[in-house]
Every structure is written in structure tokens, then in C-alpha cells.
A and B are shown apart, each in its own frame.
Chain A
Amino acid sequence: MISCQQISYSYNGIQKDIKDLSYSINEGEWLGIIGPNGSGKSTFLHILCGLLKPLTGDVMVDGEYISKMSNKDIAKKIAVLSQQNSYTFSYEVNETIKLGRIAYSSSLFPNWTKQDENAVNNALLMTSTHNMKQKFISEISGGERQRVFLAQAFAQETPYIFLDEPSNHLDLMHTIKILDLLKELQQKEEKTVITVFHDLNLASLYCDRILALKDGTTFCEGKTEDVLTEEILEDLYGTSFQIMNNPNTNKKVIVYKSNYA
């Protein structure tokens, strides 16, 4: 379980971007973090995965304080797919994914074990990147590259997977592909998935639970269908919504309203 107590954070030391935030993430659930720009969604995610150190409070990962864990230990618990992945030199897809196993190798005498090989092969299969594993990452498309980095994250074999606005640099097809994959993983292997979502309909489709942030603190929290209501969203974003039910899937559909339509 990942939980945090009374977390606060500030980028400039004056204005608080996260204020006294406490939250516990249930195991095996898919948590979506939503909120308007500047609400601290990404900051909160970065604190949860140990990238940023909070001003006050600490994060607990399976009973251990994250501030006391080494990067290696964190990497065995939490895998992160960032918004945008850059590369300087063009590695083979295969080699890129293999880097996900660094946390499991001893630093002095690294050797490639059978378990490493299995983890990488699994990741290649799950993300269907195995047919491009000999290609260079400069040769493949942006969507495929994102899948390669997802495979790298899968190779870490962590119980927790974080995604920071996964749809930001992907087209719809690739977004759905990746999120479906994660859903499958969540259901089959009981992984915990935490995503920052801009797109409320994606949040509605995939999340079990939603944490809505505003001004760096919890605005509302609960089951997806309880949080995604017209009143809450209007208060959260300051604009009007209309919420409908998709009778086929029983998921909520969020429709944006405009003064002109």
C-alpha cells in the first residue's frame, strides 16, 4: 500500500503547490488523479514516486518511508511512464527495455539472469514490441516508442505502475491500446495503477477510484461514479458539464458544455 501523511511541497519556497495532503492508495485498484491546471496533480505524482522530496510529511510504500529507500529499492516497487521520453543516442529497442532490469543487478558484478530474460521477454510480448526489438528507437514512431518505454517499465516487475498524463503525446488509438494493456495487467496480476488524467472520459473508462485535486489539496475523493458528477466537476473546473450514462458499458460519459452550443 502507498500512503502519505500531511504532505506539502513548494517549488519556489513561498507559494505552496501541495498543502497538507494525506491519502492512501488501495492495492489492486486503478486510481485516477484529476484536477485543473496548477492543482498539483503531477507534483503529487512525482512526490509519490520519490522524484520530488516533500517539504513536510513522507510517503510510505509497503511499510517503508520512501525517503529512507534507495533509488534501486524504489525502482523495484514503482515503475513510472513519463509524459515524454527523450533519447540522445539511438539504442536498439531490446537494449532499451533491458535497462528496466538495472535495479535487480548488483552494481559491481552485474550478470544477466534467467529471471531478467523472462521479465524482458514478458514485457516485449505484453506491449507487442517483440517484432521490433532489433530496431533502433530512432526508426520507430512516437507511439511505438512510448510502448517501448512502457515495456521498460513492465520489465521492472513492480507492484505499482505510475503514468503521468499518458494521453498527452499519443493519438487516441495508442492511448487506448496502452491503457487497455494496463487494465489487463491490473486485473490479471493485481497491480496498482496510478494515473494523472486530463481527459475525464478516459478517467471514467479506466479508473476504479478518483482523487480530485484543487489548489494543491484534496477536493474530493471516492469511487469513479461518485466523483464524476455534474456538481463536483463544475465546482472543480469552474465550467459546465453534462453527464450521461453509456447504457452498454454502464460507464459515465462526460460532455462539455459551451455557451454557443
Chain B
Amino acid sequence: MQRRFIQRFLNKNIFIIPSFVLLLLFILGVSIGSTSIPFYSIIQSFSDAFFKTNYVPDDIQTIVMNIRVPRVLLAGLVGACLALAGVAFQGILKNPLADPFTLGVSSGASVGAVFVLFFQISLPIVTYFTLPVVSILFGFFTLLLLILFVRKLDRSLNVETLILGGIIISSFCSALLSLFITFSDNELRSVIGWLMGNIGGRGIQYSMTLLPFLILSFLILFGQHRQLDAMTFGSTNAKHIGIDVKKVTYVILFTGSILSGAAVAVSGTIGFVGLVVPHFTRVIVGPLHRKLLPLSMINGAIFLIGSDIFSRVILAPRELPIGVITSLIGAPIFAIILLQMKRNRGKR
């Protein structure tokens, strides 16, 4: 009853609170660090950067515009991508435990990314986007392989079987990654190191690489929001009410791969964001994808910016990899969702 009351209230103003929280965390994320920067200095830095004013000293300006803002922006965008990917995979696979990490899509995409870095590949046409494009394709083929394999075990793509398949693929991919690292020199080793899930020390161009993929994918997914709703009731029912199941499935799976692959290409594997965020967003607004998609995107940004701040302050001046924080939160929630599902199945 209480859950419904909260849902009713928030349904009317679903974006107000999250947008406000996002803005607050953005400012907090820029402000907090080894040099803490007060709010008005942040505003002044922005003014200096965009209106050629001269309020703040250059060193503050550099910290804000070249280090903090790119970092917080990237955290937000990666969080949004991973959360959206989670929503897409969960809807189409009817599996609340599906996310880029648990399905092994992230691992597959990292193999692709490391492959590009290791052999210094640059593809024609996509040139600047070689890294994300290869990551996306690797992620997508990993996903297809997973589904093909799990279909052989169990035609209905059972929740647990799918995750088990994801573990097999993840293990295999991380072995491949270790192999690459063993064969690479020191410089490359650090490059591969930050593929393990890190968002610090990246310039604004990483966010600019990610942004087009995020916008495109969101538009595709939002255009299919009713189809996603229908697919959660199973492909047979979806087909009976007029969904082109095959087409929708491939479009959604590929879009999910775009989001996960692009995120991995800029920040490495950050686990469980796509699991935690949609789960809580569903508790707040219910499962309708019309609301779930945009709100998960905002909440994903909130979650990752928050985790990033946390990873910087908890052991300051030392910094934890952000993936540690998300896994510390995500793994127990994974367990809780699993328990809930078992309990519900008992009731049905």
C-alpha cells in the first residue's frame, strides 16, 4: 500500500526530484576533491570559460574545467548508458538480473577495446570512433553467442541459466584480457589498467565520444517503449498482440550493446549499474518503459556520480576505483533481487 502511495505521488512529478538531485551531485562532484572548490568559484569558472571573463585564478580554472567537470560529466554519461542498457536487456530478456556486466557483454566489449589498443587498429570511415565501434561489435557478438548457447540449454532463456552463461563468458573474456596484458609492454599495461573500470583522468573528449551513442540509443529505445512493455510478458503473448518479436528483439539487444560497448570503451567495466538503477527506478515509478527509460537514465547518472564522489572521499587522499563502489553496492542487491524472485515464484 505504501509503495503504491509513493508511486502515485511521484508519478505526477517524476522528473523534478531526480533532476534536482542530479544537479546537486554535479556541483558536489566538481566541488569535492584534494582542493575543495566553493560553489561560487564553480559558477565563475564556467563564466570564465564561456564568456571570457576573468574571475578565478588559472589553477582553479584548470582544476574545474579540465579535471573535475570532465570527470563528473563522464561519470554521469557512463552511468546513464549502463542504466539504459540494463533496462533494455531486462525488458527484452524478461530478466531483472540482466545487465551489461552479468551478461558478459561488458567483458566482451573490453576484449574488443583491448584488441584495438593492443594492435593499434584504426578502422576506415569510423576512424576516431574505432575504439567504441569495435567494443560495441564485440559486445553484441558476445551477447549473440551467449543467447545462442543458452537457447541450447533451455529454450525459454531461464533467468538463472542466462546469468550462468554470462559467468562462463565473463571468465573466458577476463582470461583473454590477462593474456593481452601479459604480452603487452608497460605503457600499454597502464592503458589496459584503466579499462578495468575507471573514470578519472579522462579529458572532455571522452564524454563527447560517448554522448552521440547515448542520444541515439535513448531515442531508439524510447521509440520502442510499448514494445518493451509487451515483451516483458513473454514473446508468445507479445506476438499475439501484434509485436514483430524478432525485429524488436534484435533492435533492442543491439541498442543495449551500443550502450554497453560505448561505455566500456571510455571507462572500462563498471559492474552492476545496469542492475541496481533500473531495479530502484521500478520501485519508484513502476515498470512502464515510458517512464522507466528516461528516469533510469537520470538515476544512472546520479548513481555513478555519487559513487565517484564516494570513491574519492572515503579513503582521501587515496582514490578507490569506481567499480569497487558499484560492486560493493551491486552484488548484495543482486542477491536480494534473486531472493525476491524465488519468493514470488513460490507464491505464483
Contact = CB atoms under 8 A, between A and B. Distances in A.
Interface of A: 49-51, 70-76, 78-80, 82, 85-92, 95-96, 99-100, 102-103, 105, 107-108, 110, 136, 138, 142, 149, 152-153, 156
Contact of B244 (A71, A90, A100): A71
Contact of A71 (B229, B243, B286): B243
B279 to A, nearest CB: 10
B223 A102 contact: no
B237 to A, nearest CB: 6
B288 interface: yes
B8 to A, nearest CB: 9
Contact of B241 (A70, A92, A102): A102
Given A82-B237, A95-B288, A89 B242 contact: no
Nearest to A134: B4
20 contacts: A50-B239, A70-B242, A70-B244, A71-B239, A71-B242, A75-B240, A78-B240, A85-B237, A88-B94, A88-B96, A88-B233, A90-B286, A91-B229, A91-B288, A95-B288, A99-B230, A102-B226, A136-B4, A138-B344, A153-B240
Interface of B: 4, 90, 94-96, 223, 226-227, 229-230, 232-234, 236-237, 239-245, 282, 286-288, 344, 348
Contacts of A72: 242, 244
A109 B94 CA distance: 25
Contacts of B4: 136
A90 B348 CA distance: 13
B223 A108 contact: yes
A86 B234 contact: yes
Nearest to A138: B344
A156 B233 contact: no
Nearest to A162: B240
A51 B236 contact: yes
Nearest to A80: B240
A156 B242 CA distance: 9
B243 A102 contact: yes
B232 A87 contact: yes
Contact of B232 (A49, A89, A103): A89
A99 B240 contact: no
B287 A89 contact: yes
A220 B279 CA distance: 53
Contact of B239 (A51, A99, A152, A153): A51
A103 B286 contact: no
A136 B245 CA distance: 25
Contacts of B232: 87-89, 91
Nearest to B93: A88
Contact of A89 (B96, B227, B241, B348): B96
Contact of B242 (A85, A102, A110, A149): A102
Given A88-B94, A90-B287, A110 B240 contact: no
Given A71-B245, A75-B240, A105 B229 contact: no
